[in-house]
Amino acid sequence: MKLGVDYSSLFPLILPAERLLVPPGSHSPQKSSRPSRSLCWSKALPTVGECHYRAARCRPRLTPLVAVAALLISDDVRAASAADAVSASLAMLDTSADKDGYNLFNPTPVKLMRELNTDRPDKTESPYTVDAGHFQAEMDFVVLTLDREDDVRSRTWNVAPVNFKVGLLNNVDLQVIFDSYFDVRLQGHAVQRRETNSGVGDLTTRLKINLWGDDGGPTAFGLIPFLKAPTNTNGLGNDAVEGGVIFPLAVALPGKWDMGMETEVDFMRNAANTGYRPEFVNSITFGHDLIGKLGGYAEFFSDVSTERGAGWVGTLDAGLVYQLTENVQLDAGCNFGVTRSADNLQPFTGLSIRF
C-alpha cells in the first residue's frame, strides 16, 4: 500500500516544507501485501513504505486445465477397455470435489496438490490459493528503487520483504506480509545535502478466497481483503491503519499464454490525516513459457488516487521466472515508471518456496 507520511521533519534540509504538501501519487507484500507497491514520489517526498508493496506482487501462473488424453484405440482393442480408460480420465476432473474436506489440520495429500502458484514477481495478484494445510513463502532478496524529481534524487533499498502464506481450506489461504528492512537516501543537488533513514516497515494481513477455478478451468477468480497495521519505525510509514480489497482474475489464452488482471480499491489515510480517501488500482499481465523451465511476463500497472493534487502512477513491468523444482521458484525483473508520479526504475530479484 502506499503510505503517505510527511518527511519534512526527517529531511528538512533537502526540500522546504511547502514542497511536502502534495501527497505521493502512488501497494502488497506483499503487498504481498498489496497494499502498497512502489516508493512513489510526486512533487512531495512520499513514504518510504510505499516501496514495500512491490513485494507482494506476483505473476499469476495460471493452473493448467486438467488434461484428458485422447484414447488411440485400434480395431482390436475391446470397447470395454476403452470405456474403463475414459472413466479413469474423467475422474481426474472431479479432483476439486474430493479436496473440499481438507483443511489446516487435515492437509491436502501431495498427490492432489496444485502446481506452485505465486503472487509474485509481477504486481498483479493471483486468484489461486495455497493448498489446505500447506505453507508458502514468497520474498524478495532485495528491491532497489530509484527516482528523481526536479533536483532531488532518491535511492531506497528494501531487503527481504516476505509474504508468508498458509492454506486454511481448499480455496482459502491466510497471508502475512512484512516489509522488513528499508534504507532510504535522499539527495538534493541544489543544496548539496544528503539525508538517510532506515528501519522496518509495516505488517499487512490478507485473506485470499478463490471463488472458482482453483483446481482447473479456463478462468479463475478470487477475492482478497487486506488490512495494514502500522508497525514501522523511524517514520517509514504514515502510522495509520489502512485496508482494501483486491479482485484478481486469471485467464488461459490460446497458444499457452496466461493473462492475469486485477482491480483493487484501497482506503488510504489522507495527507491531512483527517480521514480516508479511496485509491483505485488496475493492472494486466501476460505470461508465457520461454525455454524449458524459464518463463517471462510483461505487465501494465496503474494506480489512481482521489487525493487532491496526487498524480497518476503508471508503470511498465517485465521479468523472468525460473521453476527450479515443483516447490521452488526463482524470479527477477524490473518496473519502469512511465508517468511523472511513478518511480523511475525498480529492479528486484526473489524466491518463492512451498512446503
Task: Report how many helices (DSSP H) and strands (DSSP E) the chain contains, helices first.
Answer: 2, 15
In terms of Cα–Cα distance, which of 335, 32, 327 is closest to 161?
Answer: 32
Per the structure block, which three cell numbers stand in for 25? 501519487
What residues contact 304, with CB distance under 8 A and at least 6 apart? 279, 280, 281, 312, 313
In terms of Cα–Cα distance, which of 288, 183, 216 is closest to 67?
Answer: 216
Domain locations in the chain as residue ranges: 17-63+91-354
pTM: 0.76
Class of domain 17-63+91-354: mainly beta
Burial 231-264 (b: 16+ CB within 10 A, else e): ebeebbbbebebbbebbbbbbbeeeeebbbbbeb
pLDDT per residue of the chain (355 residues) written in tens, 0 to 9: 333 333 333 344 344 333 332 233 333 333 433 333 333 333 333 433 333 333 333 333 333 333 333 333 334 434 444 444 444 444 444 555 689 999 999 999 999 999 999 999 999 999 999 999 999 999 999 999 999 988 889 999 999 999 999 999 999 999 999 999 999 999 887 656 788 999 999 999 999 999 999 999 999 999 999 999 999 999 899 999 999 999 999 999 999 999 999 999 999 999 888 999 999 999 999 999 999 999 999 999 999 999 988 899 999 999 999 999 999 999 999 999 999 999 999 999 999 999 9
